[in-house]
A and B are shown apart, each in its own frame.
Chain A
Amino acid sequence: MPFIPHSEHDISKMLSTIGVTSIDDLFDEIPDNLRCGNLDKIPQGLNEMEVTRLMRERAAQDGLPLCFLGAGAYEHHIPAAVWEITTRGEFYSAYTPYQAEASQGTLQLLYEYQSMMASLMAMDVSNASLYDGASALAEAVLMSVRANKKSKSRKILMPRSINPVYRSVTEAIVKNQAIELIDVSYDSATGQTDLTALQQFAGEDFAALVIPQPNFFGVIENVDALTAWATESKMLSVAVVNPMAMALLKPPGEWADEGVDIVCGEGQPLGVPLASGGPYFGFMCCKQQHVRQMPGRIIGRTTDLDGKEGFTLTLQAREQHIRRSKATSNICTNQGLLVTAATIYMSLLGPEGLKKVALNSHKNTQLLLNRLTEIKGVSAVFKASTFHECVVQVETDAKLLIEQLAKEHHILGGFDLSVDYAELGNALLICATETRTREDIERFATTLEKILDN
């Protein structure tokens, strides 16, 4: 029997100890009319060799196209050591560290993670993860409503330059608590959140302003001005950032005079494979004064009976298992294993390595943009600087172009913006991380040239 160790002898001894004659007797409290029959629609079991063959066939069907697609998930090189260690059984098959003495490995790692993340963001504190970047933004919005003591507003200013799927996830999660998201437009020339458009909200009461860096177009936002405006307007500032970019760009704790209140985002760039969109992890950092409003697990350093240093779950009075309906969030299981990978990744890359990955990704995207805009029928859309993604317009149907690139040339040629941003026409969001070579870029460019020529 797969994964069941019992011999016939074990079974009969156990049944006689219990005092029943068959295993089925153990289900005698379940009313007979509720028992189900055989699960005929489920296939018969496979052994490991058979399932290996099946999965290899399925994987082969999917192939590995050349990727210039980002839009919230990024292909970076992951050092071999990251997942070798992460999948050690002691990390892989442990539960949430409820018994601190028997979980010091996970707990110390999480404390180190919190320290790295807080420093990367230049913030006071970090939690130990949320589900993903989009749901982390939803949690940050809920947190900002709780934490803003100067305002009773349940309205949030949300730039249109934020990843549109982050907006829709946030909407789905916060709308039942009567929280409203108000759009802020972007400047069509720069692609940055429009500071003059923001002025129309001056004097109105909002709980928070959300500030992306870089924004969905890859554009570097004027974060100092946005943060200052939020503080002046007595709202909290919530940054949504790419953690890789923060090795290179000014971190949210240093925006304007006092930094932002809450930072969140998608941790995937830090050592987590693309893997069809998950599991990734959401991260969240905040100022010390807001820590009791933070959702999710937090690890603290303390001492044991002998005065020796150790680590434990702390501030648990915020959480559902203690506070139930009054908890800061319903989250219980989080994304611990992904944080394990990210901590090892950041340790291997170090401050210099992380900065170099960010810089090379930025430069490769610059090369890609320069090369593609040499092609007739391809032009850059926004003037402002970008991190490692940018928007180009093509003189053809963007959706069909992407399909053709994928189907005939095995190239993922970017993200079609025409659905979420119809005003941009046939626009593509493209990305080249440090993993793309000049040859890769040339292959994309010449293929595009040929297609547009026809």
Chain B
Amino acid sequence: MLIFEQSHTGRASNAQLPADNDALSSLPADALRTTKPNLPEASEMQVVRHFTRLSQKNFSIDTHFYPLGSCTMKYNPRACNTLASLPEFTGRHPLGPSLHGQGFLKCMYELQGMLKEVTGMQAVSLCPAAGAQGEFAGVAMIKAYHDNRNDTQRCEILVPDAAHGTNPASAVMCGYKVREIPTGKNGDVDIDALKAAVGPQTAGIMLTNPSTLGVFDRKIKEIAGIVHEAGGLLYYDGANLNAILGKVRPGDMGFDVIHMNLHKTFSTPHGGGGPGAGPVGVSKRLKPYMPVPIVGKKDQQYVLLDENDCPQSIGRMSAFAGNAGVLLRAYIYARMLGREGMPRVADFATLNANYLLKRLMAVGYDAAYPERRATHEFILTLKKQAKELGVTAMDVAKRLLDYDFHAPTTYFPLLIPECLLIEPTETEAKETLDGFIDTMAKILVEAEGDAQLLKQAPYTLPVRRLDDVKAVKQLDVVWKKTEVKQ
């Protein structure tokens, strides 16, 4: 039942109503609202019960194995939330003086430093709100760099066909045309196609390495050479940083600008869709263009550097300093990992992925790249099952839900037919992986015996498969009741 359907005119969460204030109002009558908004009228307990019950209809990391590829669903340490929620942190006004923020700013300054070190970049700005905004900031810096050199013919950004959808969308928001580069047979970028595509019109390339295909592009240095030779810059999509944390650094691979998804690699919660944090790191030549504010140090005080300190900056991405509370959680996590914990993340994420891949292949699934080493994630393709049994990747995904496992990412990357992108992360124990493997094996047996069983799944969740076509055709995105006059 919707919260609105539990509403009773005249009921309220009375402890939440502020006391009457007998001061006068100066508002003119014609500026006032005359209709009552459709907000619930409910007691505090009703509200608490309703939303607690809703929460119980979710799968989450705290309740389920959640191997959603490319999303790095690892355990979100509770300490990060508790400590970032200390009242001085949650109560700090963003425009308050840096005097009342030395503790917070010191954390941010040190976070910039740690991210610089672990990525091998020259400087970091924390302000982008998520990966996609980091991409926007990064490509905007590439544009500012070329523009500043009067190199204005560079109108194209190269994007591999395996790239995440945000990559081409971000490039277009920066005013660029997008040219797709195909992937070679082995999962690496097709070098000949790249060579043919670069030229004086190339502003840069956006790459993920390891790519979204779950393999590390071994020719990365050669790619960097080809793009740089043509006068373009290299953008690193850091969504897969978990695979290489403390092992290889984007800066050493030759990238000029990167974003990191702290809500993936640095374990801040996804919150059912967000928030994230997408800090950007840059090489020396892009440093002047970084988005502001940036945390700096002046006379032994931590301060926010702004447009006056960074006159060539591409500007601001949000009203204040980005998703500060997310950054604080990432800082706490980074301090708990420390220098020895960071490479361990990559070690065990990779161990778990390779173990899972090996055993899933053994029970009868096909890897998209069987001859390649898995990184922190890998792809299965159900092309064969789709053809022979009529069972799709989506059917397997939905059936997994019945067995209490969240599904892997489905149908991404687009170039692998009937794919499941599986990312176990380092925080899962072997017995969880074993349970998942047994279930996948069982589902394969089911598929061979009774494909219809899978096509109708799931059966045990609050709802069965939903009619997405109807959701679009008979668009119902807002609950309505007839307006009541106040």
Interface status of A394 (Cβ within 8 A of chain B): no
Task: List 15 extra interface pairs beyond A278-B320, A325-B169, A330-B136, CB under 8 A.
Answer: A3-B267, A59-B103, A85-B52, A93-B73, A94-B60, A95-B273, A109-B51, A125-B478, A128-B273, A176-B173, A278-B129, A305-B456, A335-B129, A354-B37, A385-B28
Q: Are A95 and B272 in touch, CB under 8 angstroms?
A: yes
> Is there an interface contact between A406 and B173, defined as CB atoms closer than 8 Å?
no
Q: A362 CA to B31 CA in the complex, in Å?
A: 13
In the bound complex, how far is the Cα of B43 from the Cα of A348, in angstroms? 7
Kindly state whether residue A189 has any CB partner on chain B within 8 Å: no
Nearest neighbor of B19 in chain A, beta-carbon distance: A360
From 343 to 370 in chain B, residues with beta carbon under 8 angstroms from any chain A beta carbon are 343-344, 346-348, 350-352, 354-355, 358-359
Give every chain A residue within 8 A of B480 (Cβ-Cβ): 115
A131 to B317, CA, bound (A): 9
With A31-B218, A101-B458, A103-B272 already in contact, the answer to whether A357 and B319 are too (CB < 8 A) is no
Interface residue B196 (Cβ < 8 Å from any Cβ of A): no
A177 within 8 A of B: yes
Q: Which of B3, B77, B350 contacts A3 (CB 8 A)?
A: B77
Q: Verify if A81 is at the interface (C-beta below 8 Å from B).
A: yes
Task: Please give, as numbers and ranges, the residues of chain A lying within 8 Å of B66 by CB-CB distance.
Answer: 95
Contact residues of B between 92 and 145, Cβ < 8 Å to A: 92-97, 99-104, 106-107, 113-114, 117-118, 120, 129-133, 135-136, 140, 143
**In this assembly, does B79 line the interface, its C-beta being within 8 Å of a C-beta of chain A?**
yes
How far is A85 from B140 in the complex, measured between Cα atoms in Å?
38
B86 touches A47 (CB 8 A): no
Contact B324 A112 (CB under 8 A): no
Asked if A169 and B316 sit within 8 Å, CB to CB, the answer is yes
* Bound-state Cα–Cα, A111 to B388, Å: 39
Residue of B nearest to A308 (CB): B463
> Known interface pairs A102-B401, A333-B274, A338-B275. Does A120 touch B336 (Cβ–Cβ under 8 Å)?
no
Is A246's beta carbon under 8 Å from chain B? yes
Contact (Cβ within 8 A) A275 B427: no
Is B238 part of the contact surface with A, judged by Cβ < 8 Å?
Answer: no
From B76, B81, B136, contact of A173 by CB (8 A) = B136
> A197 near B: Cβ within 8 Å?
no
Q: For chain A residues 342-364, which have a beta carbon within 8 Å of chain B? A: 343-344, 346-357, 359-360, 362-364
A-B contact count (CB 8 A): 681
Residue of A nearest to B130 (CB): A333
B442 contacts partner chain A, Cβ-Cβ < 8 Å: no
A143 at the interface (CB under 8 A from B): no
Residues 1 to 44 of chain A near chain B (Cβ within 8 Å)? 1-6, 10-11, 13-15, 17-20, 23, 26-31, 34-36, 38-44
Question: Within 8 Å of chain A (Cβ to Cβ): is B170?
Answer: yes
CB pair B175–A334 under 8 Å, yes or no, is no
20 A-B pairs within 8 Å (CB atoms) are namely A5-B427, A26-B373, A31-B220, A34-B253, A48-B336, A81-B44, A93-B61, A102-B458, A104-B54, A119-B478, A166-B319, A248-B32, A249-B27, A277-B321, A279-B129, A302-B471, A325-B178, A330-B136, A356-B18, A385-B31
Contact (Cβ within 8 A) A111 B477:
yes
In the assembled complex, the Cα of A163 lies from the Cα of B316 at a distance in Å of 13
| Known A95-B68, A169-B315, A346-B39; contact A312-B468, beta-carbon cutoff 8 A | yes
Contact of A321 among B56, B165, B314, B350 (CB under 8 A): B165
Across the A-B interface, give the 6 residue pairs with the lowest CB-CB distance, nearest first: A277-B320, A45-B338, A337-B271, A89-B62, A336-B273, A172-B315
Answer whether residue A430 sits at the interface, using C-beta atoms and an 8 A cutoff.
no
Interface residues on A, range: 35 or more
**Cα distance A178–B147 in the bound complex, in angstroms:** 14
Which of these, B47, B52, B61, B263, contacts A88 with CB under 8 Å?
B52
Tell whether B58 is near chain A: CB-to-CB under 8 Å: yes
The listed residue (A27, A177, A335, A363) touching B24 by CB distance below 8 A is A363
Given A279-B129, A333-B132, check contact A116 B220 (CB 8 Å). Answer: no
- At the interface, yes or no: B415 with Cβ under 8 Å from chain A? no
Q: Does B285 touch A at the CB level, under 8 Å? A: no
B470 at the interface (CB under 8 A from A): yes
Q: Which of A213-259 contact B (CB under 8 A)?
A: 220, 223-224, 246-251, 254
Q: How far is the CA of A115 from the CA of B216 in the complex (A)?
A: 45
Contacts of A45 in B (CB 8 A): 335-341
In the complex, the answer to whether A360 meets B21 with C-beta atoms within 8 Å is yes
Q: Which of B225-233, B241-249, B445-453 is found at the contact surface with chain A?
A: B241-249
- Using known A-B contacts A46-B335, A92-B76, A132-B319, determine if residue A248 contacts B272 with beta carbons closer than 8 Å: no
In the complex, the chain B residue whose C-beta lies closest to that of A435 is B18
- CB pair B71–A95 under 8 Å, yes or no, is yes
Quick one: given A72-B319, A251-B33, A333-B275, are A56 and B86 in contact (CB under 8 Å)?
Answer: yes
Docked Cα-Cα span, A168 to B308, in Å, equals 13
Query: Contact between A352 and B430 (Cβ–Cβ < 8 Å)?
Result: no
Q: Please tell me if the beta carbons of A115 and B4 are within 8 angstroms of each other in the complex.
A: yes
* Closest A residue by C-beta to B88: A59
Contacts A248-B33, A250-B31, A324-B169 given; does A347 touch B40 at CB 8 Å: yes
B90 at interface, CB cutoff 8 A: yes
What is the 8 Å Cβ interface bit string for chain A, positions 290-305, against chain B (1 contact, 0 not)? Answer: 0100000111111111
Shortest CB-to-CB span from B122 to chain A, Å, is 13
Mask of B420-457 contacts with A, CB within 8 angstroms, 1/0: 00000011111000000000000000000000000010
Asked whether, in the complex, the Cβ of A276 is within 8 Å of the Cβ of B321, the reply is yes
Kindly identify which residue among A23, A59, A300 contacts B347, using a CB–CB cutoff of 8 Å: A23
Are the C-beta atoms of A279 and B31 separated by less than 8 Å?
no
**A63: shortest Cβ distance to chain B, in Å?**
6
Say yes or no for A100: interface residue by CB 8 A criterion: yes
A30 near B247: Cβ-Cβ < 8 Å? yes
> Complex formed: what's the CA distance from A236 to B463 in Å?
40
Q: Measured between C-beta atoms, what is the minimum distance from B437 to chain A in Å?
A: 10
B476 at interface, CB cutoff 8 A: yes
Nearest chain B CB to A243's CB is how many angstroms away? 10
B323 — which chain A residues lie within 8 A by C-beta? 278-279
Find the A residue at minimum CB distance from B429: A5
- Least distance between B258 CB and chain A CB atoms (Å): 14
Cα of A290 to Cα of B249 in the assembled complex, Å? 44
Chain A, 282-333, CB within 8 A of any chain B CB: 291, 297-306, 308-312, 314-315, 317, 319-327, 329-333
B419 within 8 A of A: no
Least CB distance, A374 to chain B, in whole angstroms: 15
